[in-house]
Amino acid sequence: MKFFIDTADINEIRKAREFGILDGVTTNPSLVSKVKRPYLEVLTEIAREIEGPVSAEVIATDSAGIVREARELAKIGGNVVIKVPLIAEGLKAVKTLSGEGIKTNVTLCFNALQALMAAKAGATYISPFVGRLDDIASEGMEVVEEIMTIYDNYGFDTEIIVASVRNPLHIKYAAMMGAHIATIPYSVFESIVKHPLTDIGLAKFLEDYKKVPK
């Protein structure tokens, strides 16, 4: 299972990388807006800093515009993956881009049939937004399970990025289902390694070590 970090903040990316288990980065316009620097400048800095895939989202919503923008974003670096919204025009663009060998991450996926369409269009990655589904009293992880079944049935290569992750349980269930990737906000990334009993146990071991004759 691969771990991506879901942020445009270079400091968070650097801190996550120190864990030694970071495989890639996903961004979106909302995340870049928090950094308060020009869009291309932020994406370029991240793509140069990280070896793994870095998802950069297009702003255009018509297929010709998406393809134009995607070709420009792809010039940033070989690791840039173009994030395309799951709309009809987006899927047309994905078909063209996959024909050109440009990798895509189809974003804003909320059901398994949308994911099937994206895979048929040649998407490299599909991003079901589990947290936003949970927010409206739907089961986000059920959608991931359905997508996995459909992709397995037909042997699609499209990798599933469990996105809109809100808590450690999303990651646990993603791993149990065998989802390829989870893209995780830094706060959750940091929290998944922690357990209070680990801290209590370690403190006791260190205290007891002092009693061992030297």
Q: Is 6 in the site for ligand E4P (CB under 6 A)?
A: yes
Per-residue string for binding with ligand E4P, 56-95, x by CB under 6 A? ----------------------------------------
Q: Is 131 in the site for ligand E4P (CB under 6 A)?
A: yes
Closest CB to ligand E4P among residues 57, 69: 57
Q: Is 127 in the site for ligand E4P (CB under 6 A)?
A: yes
Closest CB to ligand E4P among residues 6, 9: 6
User: What's the rounded Cα separation, in Å, for the pair 199 and 202?
Assistant: 5
Nearest of 93, 90, 73 to residue 82 by alpha carbon? 73
User: Taking a C-beta distance cutoff of 8 angstroms, is the pair 82, 105 a contact?
Assistant: yes
> Residues binding ligand E4P: what is the number (CB under 6 A)?
11
User: What's the rounded Cα separation, in Å, for the pair 56 and 28?
Assistant: 7
User: Smallest distance from the beta carbon of 35 to ligand E4P, in angstroms?
Assistant: 14
Exactly one of 2, 15, 36, 83 is catalytic; name it: 83
User: What's the rounded Cα separation, in Å, for the pair 22 and 141?
Assistant: 22
User: Taking a C-beta distance cutoff of 8 angstroms, is the pair 58, 73 a contact?
Assistant: yes
User: Taking a C-beta distance cutoff of 8 angstroms, is the pair 79, 50 a contact?
Assistant: yes
Stretches 70-78, 95-103, 113-121, 127-135: which one binds ligand E4P (CB under 6 A)? 127-135
Residues 6+ away with beta carbon under 8 Å from 50: 13, 17, 22, 24, 25, 79
Question: Is 83 in the active site?
Answer: yes
Q: Which class for 146: exposed (0-12), middle (13-18), buried (19 or more C-beta within 10 A)? A: middle
User: What's the rounded Cα separation, in Å, for the pair 175 and 193?
Assistant: 15
Q: Is 151 in the site for ligand E4P (CB under 6 A)?
A: no
User: Smallest distance from the beta carbon of 163 to ligand E4P, in angstroms?
Assistant: 3
Closest CB to ligand E4P among residues 74, 163: 163
Residues 95-124 binding ligand E4P (CB under 6 A) are 107
Which residues have a catalytic role annotated?
83
Binding site for ligand E4P (CB under 6 A): 6, 26, 28, 107, 127, 129, 131-132, 163-164, 183
